Amino acid sequence: MIGAGLWLFVSIILVGVAALYFDAGYTMQRIGTLLQTTTWSSARAWELSAIPLFIWMGELLIRSNIAAALFDAITPLTRRIPGGLIHTNVFGSTLFACVSGSTAATTATIGKITLPILARQNYPRGLSLGSMAGSGSIGILIPPSIPLIVYGVLAQVSIADLFIAGVMPGLLVAALFSGFIVIASLYSKSGKGLAPASTVSVLKALLDILPFTAIIGSVIAGIYTGVATPSEAAVLGLGATLILILCRGQFSLAMLRDTLHSTVHTSCMIGILLVASGFLSSAMSLLHVPQQAGAAISSLDLSPYTLILIMTLFYILLGCVLDGVSMMVMTLPITAPIMIAAGFDPIWLGIFFVLTMEMGLVTPPIGFNLFIVRGITGESIGRIALASMPFFALLCLAIALLTVFPSIALWLPSNM
């Protein structure tokens, strides 16, 4: 149905309707009643109120020059590291992800700033493109993360615990990316010869980052200390963002109109997908599909590692044609019960799902992030895909480490 050009939420609902009508023998009136009930129950979850708030916060930051100021502040801190300014792709994306929660926003915002500068400074083009495509994916893992909120609502898992669990895996991915940039730069002898930044410029850079870290701190501290729920922390972050923009003299009615328009558009898109997913999940449960699929997989006597490998390959393929939220709402009604029945922790599972979605976003040659970078630079998709392959491999390594050492995701939630 998606291939025929139907909207995703329409396709999901029609599949549920067809399954109940032809397989279970439900009347259309009974199906309509179920759709009405699931629409209300899916849309009224209090946790969903965090989504438009975090989206609006990201939209305000995108339309201000705060991201550019962040780049200027990071630059002196990277000059001593092999690879130099290329690290701004990783550091900038990691910091911006803390207030955006959107891969597309992170990749587009940071990429528009860093890639032209890296080109003018004659940094290796392939490493610049690949690091931006890979680093932009961090936006859906480091809290606040829209996909983690969606997963928490669909899987009925604590969103605060998911946010806490996403910190160390997100930093792990950022460290792997920066480590690769260092090794590649040393091997190719590029990124050397930069004059070390003076102590004064480093101190000024740290001072310039303070307003940005204040926004991050207002969100993360509220959640991690238990003072605020994710929705309440989103209000704190949004308030801090508005105050910062007002203090910088950048707020305008045009900005307010444009950011609210984009926020409502994106929030409604996510909301209708969640409604469709809730209906499909109810239909699958009534038809006992998750139980039957789980029993079928259990009969194969697969090891946990084999099951993880199958799921990883499955989500990599889906990531070639769908974004993260779409993948979740389509698949979680079936895949989550199977994985939980196999003994995987629901919180760990949320981080695993998001990591595999990150892989899908940079999967050569048709990952979503690759096209965003192509739109920014005009480079061929083949060149960007080739440049992103090492970072795709590093995401594979991150999933392997997360599987072998689940405490990477579970240690913080269990000790907070």
Q: What is residue 176's predicted lDDT score, i.e. its pLDDT?
A: 93
Instruction: Find all residues with CB under 8 Å of 410, minimum gap 6, and list them.
Output: 165, 345, 347, 348
Maximum Cα–Cα distance across the chain: 74
**How far lies 244's CA from each of 49, 71, 74, in Å?**
22, 17, 19
Domain boundaries, the chain: 45-415
Q: How far is Cα 260 from Cα 99, in angstroms, rounded to an integer?
A: 17
Handedness of CA 106, 107, 113, 118 (dihedral sign): positive
- Residue of 133, 125, 130, 123 lying closest to 82 (CA atoms): 123
Taking the model in full, what pTM does it have?
Answer: 0.80
Q: How far is Cα 267 from Cα 40, in angstroms, rounded to an integer?
A: 16
Positions of the chain with pLDDT lower than 70, given as ranges: 67, 98-102, 139, 189-199, 201-202, 205, 208, 320-324
Instruction: Dig out the tokens for 208 from the structure.
Output: 């310039």
Q: What is residue 193's predicted lDDT score, i.e. its pLDDT?
A: 45
Residue 143: DSSP 8-state? S
